Amino acid sequence: MMQGLFITFEGIDGAGKSSHIDTLAQALRAAGRTVTLTREPGGTPLAEKLRALLLHEAMDALTETLLVFAARRDHLLRVIEPALARGEVVLCDRFTDATFAYQGAGRGFDLSVLSYMERLAQTGIGLQPDLMLNPDLTLWFDVPPEVAAERLAQARAPDRFEAEPAAFFARVARGYADRAAAAPGRFARIDGAQARERVAAQMLAMVAARGWLPEDAQ
Ligand SMILES: Nc1ncnc2c1ncn2[C@@H]1O[C@H](COP(=O)(O)OP(=O)(O)O)[C@@H](O)[C@H]1O
Ligand SMILES: Cc1cn([C@H]2C[C@H](O)[C@@H](COP(=O)(O)OP(=O)(O)O)O2)c(=O)[nH]c1=O
Q: Of ligand 1's atoms, which has the minimum distance to the CA of residue 154? A: 25
Pocket of ligand 2 (CB under 6 A): 13, 18, 39-41, 68, 93-94, 98-99, 102-103, 159, 161-162
Percent of the chain with pLDDT over 70: 96
Angle, CA of 166, 172 and 177, to the nearest 5°: 125
Looking at residues 56-76, what average pLDDT do you find? Answer: 97
- 159-196 confidence digits (pLDDT tens): 999 999 999 999 999 999 999 999 999 999 999 999 99
Cα of 117 from ligand 2 centre, angstroms: 18
Q: How far apart (Å, rounded) are the C-alpha atoms in residues 100 and 88? A: 26
Phi, psi angles (nearest 5°) of residue 34: -90, 130
- 11-47 confidence digits (pLDDT tens): 999 999 999 999 999 999 999 999 999 999 999 999 9
Query: Is the ipTM reported for this complex over the cut 0.95?
Result: yes
DSSP annotation string for the chain: -PPPEEEEEE-STTSSHHHHHHHHHHHHHHTT--EEEEESS-SSHHHHHHHHHHHHS---HHHHHHHHHHHHHHHIIIIIHHHHHTT-EEEEE--HHHIIIIIIIIT---HHHHHHHHHHHHBSSTT-TTSB---SEEEEEE--HHHHHHHHHHH----TTTTS-HHHHHHHHHHHHHHHHH-TTTEEEEETTS-HHHHHHHHHHHHHHTTSS-GGG-
Ligand nearest to the CA of 98: 2
- Please tell me the pTM assigned to this model: 0.96
Q: What is the dihedral of CA 76, 128, 176, 8, to 10 degrees?
A: -60
